[in-house]
Amino acid sequence: MCADFEKPAARRGATLPPVATDSKGSTVPERALLDATRRGDPDAFQELIEPYRVELHAHCYRMLGSLDDADDALQDALLRAWRGLAGFDAGKPLRPWLYRIATNTSLDLIAKRPKRVLPIDRSLPVAPSNGPGQPAFETPWIDPYPDEVAGLADGYAAPDARYELRESVELAFIAALQHLPARQRAVLILREVLGFSAREVADSLETSTASVNSALQRARATIDERLPSSSQQATLRSLGDDALRGVVQGYVTVWENRDVDAMVAMLVEDATFAMPPFPNWFQGRDAVIALITGTGKPRLRHVLTRAGGQLAVGWYRWSPDTETYTPTSIEVLTLEGPRVKGITAFVSPGLFRRFELPEELPGP
């Protein structure tokens, strides 16, 4: 299956036509839907919040690092919005109010649930002879984000946001966010991903602009220490579509054939490999190759996808019992130029449904 790296016009920064507004700046349909919602019309409420649903889910994911937690936060936030519309000032824009609710709902969940991690954040690398270890299902692992399925190509970040939308769901950024105290995390996302003003963020978090600016400064320092010098989006743009097709097609061919010489050429010297929920991870090209080749040469098929704006591969392994190829893992690739620097293989067949990938692939 070939990857389609060509972006439609709307994904290259094209803007939508302006929407007519009333004298208070609200969209006319939105104001009518708001009035109907206040009269108790649940269908009007669904239509009212639908334009914001995907971006709010992405926001909750950034805050929480988990698809299921983001689902829970969004559901709770929308319930709070439904119950709180009577107190909403119709003369103000709806979007900041919804983000205020989603942010505070996420903060409430963060207070109740443990921090999300990747294996690389949890322990030191091990030798290939140790293997991946026993699955640590009780560990709260970070999930990859299915950007194409969730409509992440649509532009939700403000023009002056520091992090472009796709950069804001890259694995490295999501993992770095989880190291921030919860309120610092919220401030950074609201200010630099979504472009809200310091005053708007202060109102959302019921604090002062001085506190917001101080939290943002501390959050930036922490994030800058943990992020690579170049985002994956910068790397992908520098390579271009043709080169990316070559990289990903070469990657799956090498892995399916267990071609050691080609693996050496494809991986950078300090490459890493992790397999959540397995806790062990491996560092160094030789260690990664030893681990992969040590598993033999299974019968594999694949489907290409995207996760957090990064190249990803859904792997299927032959099952003699069903005589089909069944889901095994979704591998998210981190590139350094045209070579692979990091492989995070999420060994969770349940993720295939979230990525809208087939439940199985036919033989032979």
CATH of the domain at 352: 3.10.450.50
Give the model confidence (pLDDT) of 286-342 as tens digits.
999 999 998 888 999 999 999 998 999 999 999 999 999 999 999 999 999 999 999
Using a 10 angstrom Cβ sphere, with 0-12 exposed, 13-18 middle and 19 or more buried, the burial of residue 41 is middle
What pLDDT is attached to residue 149? 64
pLDDT along the chain (364 residues), means of 10: 30 29 51 87 91 93 96 96 88 92 97 94 95 95 85 44 67 95 97 93 96 97 91 89 91 92 95 97 96 90 93 96 96 96 96 95 89
For 249, what's the count of Cα atoms within 13 Å in the CB-facing half-sphere?
A: 11
**Does residue 129 fall inside a structural domain?**
no
**Does residue 89 fall inside a structural domain?**
yes
Classify the phi-psi angles of 183: left when phi > 0, otherwise alpha if psi is within -120 to 50, otherwise beta.
alpha
**Does residue 53 fall inside a structural domain?**
yes
CA separation for the pair 93, 46 (Å, rounded) = 17
**Does residue 172 fall inside a structural domain?**
no
Of 49, 84, 113, the one marking the end of a domain is 113
CA gyration radius, the chain: 22
Of 113, 141, 169, the one marking the end of a domain is 113
**Does residue 59 fall inside a structural domain?**
yes
What pLDDT is attached to residue 296? 85
Structural domain for 74, as ranges = 20-113
Q: Which DSSP string do the residues of 22-50 spell out, in sequence order? A: -TTS-BHHHHHHHHHHHTT-HHHHHHHHH
Total structural domains in the chain? 2
What pLDDT is attached to residue 116? 95
Give the model confidence (pLDDT) of 10-48 as tens digits.
222 222 223 333 334 445 488 888 888 888 889 999 999
Q: Residues 229, 158, 226, CA angle at the centre, nearest 5°?
A: 25
Number of Cβ atoms within 10 Å of the Cβ of 57: 22
**Does residue 202 fall inside a structural domain?**
no
Of 113, 129, 151, the one marking the end of a domain is 113
**Does residue 209 fall inside a structural domain?**
no
**Does residue 347 fall inside a structural domain?**
yes
CATH of the domain at 96: 1.10.1740.10
